[in-house]
Amino acid sequence: MMMTNAEIIKAQRHFLRGEYGISIMDFSSALEHGVDPSLVHMPRGIAHLKNGDFTEAAEDFSRALKIDPINDQAFFLRGIAYFNGNEVEKAVEDFNDAISISGRRGVAFVARSLAMRAMHREAEAESDMKAALSLADVEVESFIKEYCISPAMYKLAMSLFDLGKEPWTEELREKRMKLEH
């Protein structure tokens, strides 16, 4: 088991360096050598996501959900993988599940807002963004950097948060001011 712990640490080190392909191979090797799958599927899924391998990321998050069916983070990240892979309806289902499990995470509302926007469901998009703002735990720039990997999702996010165009941007500025003071 000592070797597998070393493989996990090695995989994490490559991940932190942004070497996602190598990290994926290391996580896979650790899994092949008997590491508990509950320790591998989430981080390997995130590495796949960062590497732009959206189908593989969704598969790893699905495996994580088989182990822990109420893992709101796995639902959220699988939704992000689906959304980046242009499977918006599947993404919405996962964002709904993430929100129903833990309705206190603003990023899930932001993600669902983006998905609603992509589906031209503007009123629902605005409602979700307001819900996210009420939680005051979302930093827009970090959300875009962290989760908007595909060019299409990045472009959509940038348009959603375009200051001066959306009705909730004033609320966003006000929330930020309150948090800073």
DSSP letter for each residue of 99-124: HHH-TT-HHHHHHHHHHHHHTT-HHH
Residue 39 has pLDDT above 50, yes or no: yes
**70-180 architecture in CATH?**
Alpha Horseshoe (1.25)
- Output the six-digit token pair for 180: 């800073």
Residue 169 has pLDDT above 60, yes or no: no
pLDDT 10s digits, 10-32:
999 999 999 999 999 999 999 99
pLDDT 10s digits, 141-166:
778 888 888 888 888 888 766 644 44
Residue 112 has what pLDDT?
95
- Output the six-digit token pair for 50: 């960062």
Rounded to two decimals, the pTM is 0.84
Over the Cα atoms of the chain, what is R_g? 17
Spatial distance between the Cα atoms of 82 and 85, rounded to a whole number of angstroms: 5
Spatial distance between the Cα atoms of 174 and 177, rounded to a whole number of angstroms: 5
- Output the six-digit token pair for 66: 């088989």
Residue 1 has what pLDDT?
43
Residue 109 has pLDDT above 60, yes or no: yes
Spatial distance between the Cα atoms of 84 and 114, rounded to a whole number of angstroms: 11
